[in-house]
Amino acid sequence: MLRVVAFFPALLLAQQPVINQYCVGCHNGTSKAAGLALDTAKADDTATWEKVLRRVRGRTMPPVGLPRPKESDYQNLVATLETKLDAGKVDPGRTDTFRRLNRTEYQNAIRDLLAVDVDVTGLLPSDDASHGFDNVTVGNLSPTLLERYLGAARKISRLAIGIPPKQVGGETVMLPPDLTQEEHFEDLPLGTRGGTVVKYTFPQDAEYEIQIRLQRDRNEHVEGLRGTHVVDLMLDGERIQAFTAKPPTQGQDHSVVDREFNVRIRVSAGPHVIAAAFPKQSATLLETERQPYQAHFNMDRHPRITPAVFSVTVNGPYAVKGPGDTPSRRAIFVCKSEDDACAKKILSGLTRRAYRRPSTEADLTVPLKFYREARKTEGFEAGIEMGLRAVLVSPEFLFRVEQDPVGAAPKSVYRITDLELASRLSFFLWSSIPDEELLAAAVRGDLHQPTVLQKQVKRMLADQRSRMLVTNFADQWLYLRNLASITPDMRAFPDFDDNLRQAFRKETHLFLESVMREDRSVLDLLRADYSFLNERLAKHYGVPNIYGSRFRKVTFGPETMRGGLLRHGSILTVTSYATRTSPVIRGKWILDNILGVPPPPPPPNVPALEEAKAAMKKMTMRERLSEHRKNPACSGCHKLMDPPGFSLENFDAVGRWRQAEEGTAVDSSGGLPDGAKFSGVAGLEKALLTRPELFATTITEKLLTYSLGRGVEFTDAPAVRQIVRQSQKSYFRFSSFIQGIAGSPSFQFRRAQ
Amino acid sequence: MIITKKALPRRALLRGMGASLALPLLDAMLPSMTALAASPAKPVRRLGYVYIPMGAHIKDWTPPGSDLRQLSPILKSLAPVIDNCTVLSNMELRNAYPGTHATSNAAFLSAATAKWTESTDYHLATTADQVAAQQIGQGTRLPSLELSMDLLTTVGQCDNGYACVYQNNLSWSTPTTPLPAEAHPRIAFERLFGDGGTAKDRQSELRKDASLLDWMSEDIARLQRKLGPGDRNKMEQYLDTVREVERRIQKAEKATSESKLPDLDRPVGVPASYGDHAKLMFDLQVLALQGDVTRVITFQLARETSTRTYPEIGVSDPHHPLTHNGGDPEKLSRVAKINAYHVSLFAYFLERLKATPDGDGTLLDHSIYLYGSGMGNPDKHDHVNLPILVAGGLAGTKAGGRHIRYDKPTPLANLHLTLLDRVGARLDSFADSNGKISELTI
């Protein structure tokens, strides 16, 4: 073991006794636990020492149960390794040369370019995720995808310009079947219940037929139909029609109930809000002998008390008057002369925004060619439409391209151009294209200057579009995106409905947004004494005195078990199974997303618990997992994952507080890989906050992955540490992370091929 | 609350499509049908693949005898089409190890090892369906069609060090090109039949698309000149893609000009129930095969590690955790229920193929489908004794209704090789194959 001396520089030499005593027993050339041989590792083997640092910093090594260094030794070792590793050469990594806009980015880019809202989920396939985000593996262009891009460009350009469709079309918005509609919804007029709001872009000044259908049970009977019910149809807040639903008379089937629920009406082109809702009747009798659930959508267990909207359909256009005056037309037609000069002006403006750089003559050749051809036969606007379509299928719009400068030496590090930097920024903060101000700064060539950059980042964070950091970044980081696909077992959780699912999502979104907008410390995500609730969610949580559908900020006293992220129904539900909690999934979620020490993947050929132990059935989850941990192949990781998960056992699979499970008191004692022992969510939060730099590091790594669209490598570690150190000075304010990333070498530089 | 997701139940689609789903009309309106009828001597071969995740409760899957007169509980619903089915037991995928969900899906059609990476340098192999597409897909508008069932993308569920592409995509046209599958019925419909509208409208749109593609290749070439050699390869791939879509559009233009295709109404949305959605996706496959729009189809009936629950058959436990059951007989019986449900949906499809006349026989006679999983025992994450079933026109060679049981684990690649052979793609070997399935060869 003395061999080690030969390789260690003076700096690490001082740590050699600690490493020898606590690490080399397993991580040596003979045993090579986890592929690490620290007795022979070279001092410049950065990958190895970064790995060591991560484990030592997280105190996940040595494993729980084995002798550990003193805390001061830990700190010395961490400090030494950091100093040594931070002194190395900067490697900014290499983002892929071609990165396709993913579906979310495409949708936002269209919105910002053409001022038209399009639901792109119906036009483009979804993107595969890697490293936890769907903007990483985006280099490919399959024929299917290209076909979809052609189709999307066609639809979008026609809608934006207002080319009349060749045929009457229809669009139907269907409400989730498990949506309870007995109470008021936030975006609908007071005094109504149920229903829905649909934002719809009408393609033309024309007549449209709007149709409402009511929810039916599986016998095709309209649900909740017990007397006369009125349905109001509203356009932009004005009631345009009231329909009356009555039970069918003897001999009629239920198809007559809402057969006449349609109206033909003239609507101007552009975005409008269609709403359908029921005026609230004063005394609704609860006609159920069962427990009065809040969920009402299931004909057998908790039926609807009153009718509910099933779908809203818009058919049209009929009797077309013209394309009208729409936001998109105002954005596109920046001149009125309808000649070639005007076409050139329009298309050069569009290419500048779409290609995210000053437009050149060469950029315009082809779009103008398309314009001229179509203009000959179909007129000016059709010409612009074809020019626009050419822009929308151009690889320069669909792909973000980062090129090595001419003559760059292989592997050399270079600063990316200001234009490339502008795109990195806007796709990071807005998931969209740069706006004119950002683009102008890049064109001037001073965007990379720290003061200019900081000012732009600040401005962009304050812009509404930065909400994408919540709905796109955090949705993926925290797995909130999975909420949509989660349906807890209806027998075990009869009171779960889509209303609750939506409330979960909204709570966490508002909460994250409050930290971002108020520029709070990100540690508040774990320790806040407030959150956002409406009546539905407050009832679910057992918080009294919150009434109505509106979400509001609620500050909790110490006796309320709500507040930080780890107490949110959203996160507790996405880390549970349909029938029960999963301490394993919850624990792994904490290691992955909070502590940043993901357990290794399960070993190949996981040995199964072959013999079904009859006794296992009667065991609690805790006992069963402890049985599982007896198997040495499993225990290595489960010893890390299970204890933090156990501490959340006071929350059931839909995030309700519980003291007991099936008559047995809940045991919420848990721990962390650093050996900390505690009980319950408060203990967990406190333990996580003892070394806040771990959580700060995880957030930084997640943000960096998302902002660069590539996995974070060991070579990024010095940059990550630098950002965390800077943030620490401002007590981990949210904006310090964003500024830190924007200013980091990983974000501003690139390694040549 | 604002809902932007558009959907309509399946029955609304069928209503919407009106009589167009009825067979006689379809027969008349799809041009290639007439072409087929005119040359019954050379029936078109179609090849399809259906993937089920997380293996099966193999005890309840495996038929007891050497024929299928006595069916196992999971396969019961195949009874009406049993003469067109053959079950193969003890097939294995050696290259799917180390045992994971990602590699099960990836190896099913490639029989190859997936490169362990989460980044863009993922690498697998050309899958069997794409080999077939190169052989029999060039005559049709779409060389192949990729379908799936999972609309929602989930995060954090395929991170075992493998990029999600392995778990999501069955079909790979090259070792680095996964082909995304479509789960949305309307989008799938549009791929098959276009936007609808009159033939004239459709044709003028196709022409516009064709000229836009011309411009795309020019633009890519322009970019290519500015790039380093490594990045030029990528551009070459994009150009291939553009050329492929150009080819498809030419085919579509030709088909449109020759056809008297009436206005087809598109399905509007996604049926709320899994079963209805799956049947609709199978219906689209019948239409696609019948219209000869494509001859090669892959369909992922659910994704690996799917936590879908199946309340419609009384299984409220999520599928994936249910398969990690330590042999608990109660849980195994629920796994078997899910397996049987998936098979019943496939049986529905086979019956529809059988009811659809095609040339001198039925569509089923002129198609071969491989149904199965890349995982054997999901509790162990192993890849031996896979649930594997071949259905379709085994007639013409040797009759179906058999259960081929190997003593020794036999590469699934042998079956791929054999099926490829049957559609005219004659290879010496495929991945780790060491022979053909002699029982299925002529």
A172 contact residues in B (CB cutoff 8 A): 6-8, 268-269
A148 contact residues in B (CB cutoff 8 A): 187
What percent of chain B lies above the pLDDT cut of 90?
A: 41
Of A123, A390, A579, the CB nearest to B215: A390
Residue A1: the pLDDT is 38
Of A166, A172, A395, the CB nearest to B8: A172
Chain centroid to CA A95: 22
Nearest C-alpha neighbor of A362 from the set B124, B223, B143, B374: B223
Amino acid in the structure at residue A103: R
Q: For the segment A214-257, what is each residue's pLDDT rounded down to a tens digit?
A: 998 867 788 999 889 999 999 999 999 999 999 988 877 787 88
Check if B265 contacts A (Cβ < 8 Å): no
**Distance (Å, rounded) from C-alpha A38 to C-alpha A48?**
8
**Distance (Å, rounded) from C-alpha A643 to C-alpha A640?**
7
Within A286-417, where are the H helices?
Answer: 327-332, 340-355, 361-378, 380-392, 395-398
Give the tokens for residue A551.
């979400």
For A367, nearest residue in chain B (alpha carbons): B215
Confidence band for A285, pLDDT divided at 50, 70 and 90: low
Residue B20: the pLDDT is 31
Chain-chain contact of B4 with A602 (C-beta, under 8 angstroms): no
DSSP string, B127-164: -HHHHHHHHHSTTSSSS-EEEES--S--SSSS-SSS-H
B-facing residues of A in 691-710 (CB < 8 A) are: 710
Confidence band for B170, pLDDT divided at 50, 70 and 90: very high
**What's chain B's length in residues?**
442
Q: Is the pLDDT of residue B96 over 60?
A: yes
Residue B164: the pLDDT is 86
What percent of chain A lies above the pLDDT cut of 90?
A: 67
A362 contact residues in B (CB cutoff 8 A): 222
Check if A513 contacts B (Cβ < 8 Å): no
Please state whether A338 falls in left (phi above 0), alpha (psi between -120 and 50) or beta.
left
Confidence band for A282, pLDDT divided at 50, 70 and 90: low
Look up the CATH number of domain A169-322.
2.60.120.260
A603 contact residues in B (CB cutoff 8 A): 98
Mean pLDDT score, A467-494: 91
Q: Residue B84: how many CA atoms within 13 Å on its side-chain side?
A: 25
Backbone angles phi, psi at A286, to 5 degrees: -85, 95
Chain-chain contact of A125 with B187 (C-beta, under 8 angstroms): yes
Q: What is the DSSP pairing of strand A205-214 with strand A309-322?
A: antiparallel
Q: Chain B closest CA to A713's CA: distance in Å?
A: 11
Chain-chain contact of A173 with B4 (C-beta, under 8 angstroms): yes
A-facing residues of B in 380-399 (CB < 8 A) are: 380-382
Q: Is the pLDDT of residue A7 over 50?
A: no
Residue B154: the pLDDT is 66
Q: Chain B closest CA to A752's CA: distance in Å?
A: 10
Check if B58 contacts A (Cβ < 8 Å): no
Least confident range of A416-425, A680-689, B279-288: B279-288
Location of structure tokens 């070279």: A42
A284 or A708: which carries more pLDDT confidence? A708
B97 contact residues in A (CB cutoff 8 A): 604-605
Residue B256: the pLDDT is 63
- Angle between the N-to-C axes of helices A734-743 and A692-708, in degrees from 0 to 180, rounded to the nearest 10: 50
For A487, nearest residue in chain B (alpha carbons): B309
Residue B2: the pLDDT is 42
Please give the interface size between A and B, counted as residue pairs whose CB atoms are below 8 Å apart.
279
Residue B13: the pLDDT is 37
A632 or B297: which carries more pLDDT confidence? B297
A486 contact residues in B (CB cutoff 8 A): 307
Of B7, B190, B212, the CB nearest to A393: B212
Q: For the segment A560-570, what is each residue's pLDDT rounded down to a tens digit?
A: 999 999 999 99
A-facing residues of B in 359-378 (CB < 8 A) are: 377
Q: For the segment A607-617, what is each residue's pLDDT rounded down to a tens digit?
A: 554 444 545 55
Global pTM?
0.85
Chain-chain contact of A98 with B173 (C-beta, under 8 angstroms): no
For A485, nearest residue in chain B (alpha carbons): B152
B402 membership: H or E segment, kind and range? strand B402-411
Per-chain mean pLDDT for chain A = 90
In three state form, how does the secondary structure of A675-719 look? CCEEEHHHHHHHHHHHCHHHHHHHHHHHHHHHHHCCCCCHHHHHH
Mean pLDDT score, B308-321: 84
Amino acid in the structure at residue A491: R
A190 or B232: which carries more pLDDT confidence? A190
B191 contact residues in A (CB cutoff 8 A): 144, 147
Residue ranges of chain A that CATH labels 2.60.120.260: 169-322
Query: What is the 8-class DSSP label of residue A165?
Result: P
Q: Are B262 and B29 in contact (CB under 8 A)?
A: yes
Check if A33 contacts B (Cβ < 8 Å): no
| ipTM metric | 0.80
Confidence band for A458, pLDDT divided at 50, 70 and 90: very high
* Greatest mean pLDDT range, A391-405, A431-445, B174-188: A431-445
Chain-chain contact of A176 with B3 (C-beta, under 8 angstroms): yes
Mutation choice for A interface testing from B101, B122, B146, B153 by most A CBs within 10 A: B153
The CA-based angle A514-A518-A519, given to 5 degrees, is 110
For A168, nearest residue in chain B (alpha carbons): B197
Query: Radius of gyration over alpha carbons of chain A, in Å?
Result: 30
What percent of chain A lies above the pLDDT cut of 70?
A: 95
Q: For the segment A85-123, what is each residue's pLDDT rounded down to a tens digit?
A: 998 888 999 999 999 999 999 999 999 999 999 989 888
A128 contact residues in B (CB cutoff 8 A): 153, 163-165, 168-169, 178, 180
Chain-chain contact of A490 with B157 (C-beta, under 8 angstroms): no
B9 membership: H or E segment, kind and range? none
Report the SS3 class of residue A489. Answer: coil
Strand partners, A238: A235
Q: Are A532 and A507 in contact (CB under 8 A)?
A: yes
Residue B157: the pLDDT is 67
Amino acid in the structure at residue B282: F
Check if B248 contacts A (Cβ < 8 Å): yes
Q: Is the pLDDT of residue B387 over 80?
A: yes
Cβ-proximal residues to B438 (8 Å cutoff; 6+ apart), any chain: none
Mean pLDDT score, A265-279: 96
A-facing residues of B in 179-238 (CB < 8 A) are: 179-182, 184, 186-187, 190-191, 195-198, 201, 205, 208-209, 211-213, 215-216, 218-220, 222-223, 226-228, 230-231, 234, 237-238
Residue B155: the pLDDT is 66
Residue B263: the pLDDT is 44
Give the tokens for residue A432.
């969209």
Q: For the segment A357-391, what is each residue's pLDDT rounded down to a tens digit?
A: 999 999 999 999 999 999 999 999 999 999 999 99
**Distance (Å, rounded) from C-alpha A369 to C-alpha A678?**
71
- Angle between the N-to-C axes of helices B199-225 and B229-258, in degrees from 0 to 180, rounded to the nearest 10: 170
Nearest C-alpha neighbor of B42 from the set B423, B430, B429: B423
B3 contact residues in A (CB cutoff 8 A): 173-176, 196-198
Chain-chain contact of B98 with A142 (C-beta, under 8 angstroms): no
Give the tokens for residue A100.
């396709």
Q: Chain B closest CA to A577's CA: distance in Å?
A: 7
Residue B156: the pLDDT is 66
Of A134, A167, A710, the CB nearest to B197: A167
Residue B257: the pLDDT is 62
Q: Is the pLDDT of residue A477 over 70?
A: yes
Confidence band for B50, pLDDT divided at 50, 70 and 90: very high
Least confident range of A475-479, A505-509, A571-575, B394-398: B394-398
B228 contact residues in A (CB cutoff 8 A): 403-404, 753
B-facing residues of A in 303-322 (CB < 8 A) are: 311
For A617, nearest residue in chain B (alpha carbons): B328
Chain-chain contact of A484 with B179 (C-beta, under 8 angstroms): no
A400 or B254: which carries more pLDDT confidence? A400
Q: Is the pLDDT of residue B253 over 80?
A: no
Cβ-proximal residues to A704 (8 Å cutoff; 6+ apart), any chain: A712, A716, A719, A720, A741, A744, A746, A747
Q: For the segment B13-33, what is each residue's pLDDT rounded down to a tens digit?
A: 333 332 233 222 233 233 333
Q: For the segment B217-252, what is each residue's pLDDT rounded down to a tens digit?
A: 888 888 888 777 777 888 888 888 888 888 888 877
Chain-chain contact of A147 with B146 (C-beta, under 8 angstroms): no
Q: For the segment B323-354, what is each residue's pLDDT rounded down to a tens digit?
A: 988 888 999 999 999 999 999 999 999 999 99
Confidence band for A159, pLDDT divided at 50, 70 and 90: very high
Q: For the segment B362-382, what is each residue's pLDDT rounded down to a tens digit?
A: 899 889 999 999 999 998 889
Per-chain mean pLDDT for chain B = 81
Of A141, A482, A582, the CB nearest to B155: A482
A-facing residues of B in 65-124 (CB < 8 A) are: 97-100, 118-120, 122
